[in-house]
Amino acid sequence: MNTPCEIIQDLLPLYAEQMASDASAQMVEVHLAHCAACNNVLKASKAQIQAPQCNLKPLRKIRLDIGKKRLLSVLLAASVLAIILLSTFSFLTAPQTFTYTQDLLEVVEFANGEALVVFDPRVTGYKATQYTHPDGRVHIDISAWTTILGRFIDTGAQSYRIAQSADVVYYCSANLRTEDKVIWSRTQPDSGSVMTLASLSFSYYALIAAGALLLFGIVLIALRKQPRKAGVVWKFFAVPLSYIGAHLCIKGTVTISHFPKRDFFWIAITMVFWYIAALTAYTLFRSFRESRRCLPK
Write out the DSSP string of 54-107: ---HHHHHHHHHHHHHHHHHHHHHHHHHHHHHHHHHHHHT--EEPPP-TTTEEE
Question: What are residue 52's phi and psi, to 5 degrees?
Answer: -70, 150
The residues spanned by each domain of the chain are 5-49, 57-92+201-294, 96-197
Question: What 3-state DSSP class applies to 32?
Answer: helix
Give the pLDDT of the chain (297 residues) as one tens digit per residue. 577 888 777 777 777 777 778 878 888 888 887 888 888 887 777 766 555 555 556 667 777 778 888 899 999 999 999 999 999 999 999 999 898 888 999 999 888 778 999 999 999 999 998 988 888 889 999 999 999 998 888 777 889 999 888 889 999 877 666 678 889 988 765 544 444 445 567 888 999 999 999 999 999 999 888 888 888 999 999 999 999 999 999 999 888 888 888 999 999 999 999 999 999 999 888 887 777 666 555
Question: What are residue 42's phi and psi, to 5 degrees?
Answer: -65, -45
Q: What pTM was estimated for this model as a whole?
A: 0.71
